[in-house]
Amino acid sequence: MNNSENELKIYTYPDRVLRATAEAIENIDEDLQKLVDNMIHTMYLAPGIGLAANQVGELRRVIVFDLYPRKDGRDPRVLINPEIVLSEGKVASEESCLSVVDYSAEVSRNAQVKVKGVGRHGKPMDIEAEGLLAICLQHEIDHLNGTLYIDHISSLKRALYKKRLKKKLKEK
C-alpha cells in the first residue's frame, strides 16, 4: 500500500465542508470500501482515534474509529449511517480534533449512548457505549451533522480560539 496515495487530506476549521451535513449511504459498494480503507489509513497516520467522512471532504455518513490505535492488534471499526438512539447522563472531558488544529477544550457530552448503524459489509450494528467510546462516537457523529466540538464550548472560549487561528492563518 503506497502511503501517500492512500492518505486523504484532512480538512481543517474553518473549511465549509466541516459545516455540511453528510448524506445517508444507500449502497455499500467498492467505492465506499476504498474510502473506508483510506479513512482508516489516514486516521492512523494523523494519528487519531476517530475520523468522519466530512473531515476528508466526503459528505457521506460513515465514521471510522479505534480507541487504542498505538497498541498492538489495532482494531479499526466502521459505522455507516450511525445514529444516536438513546443517551443519558453527563460527563465532561478534554477533547481535541484533527480538524481543529492546536486546540483542546473540556466538552460536556452524554455519559452513555446507544448508537445504531451498519458495519462496512451492511450488517446492522447496535453499540452501547460509555467512557471514551461514547465520547468518540458522539464527536464523530457530530461531524456528520456539520457540528464541531468547539460548538459545545463557551462562546468566549470559541471566540478566543477563532482569534488565535485567524492570527496564525495571517502569519502563513
CA–CA separation, 76 and 99 (whole Å): 20
Q: Which of 7, 94, 95, 140 is catalytic?
A: 140
Give the residue from 72, 69, 63, 70 showing the smallest Cα distance to 138. 63
Give the residue from 148, 141, 144 showing the smallest Cα distance to 113. 141
Determine whether 171 is an active site residue.
no
Q: Could you tell me the three cell numbers for 144?
A: 456528520
Backbone torsions φ then ψ of 114, nearest 5 degrees: -120, 125
Q: Could you tell me the three cell numbers for 22?
A: 453528510
Provide DSSP, 11-50. P-TT-GGGGSPPBPP----HHHHHHHHHHHHHHHHTT-SE
Positions marked catalytic: 140
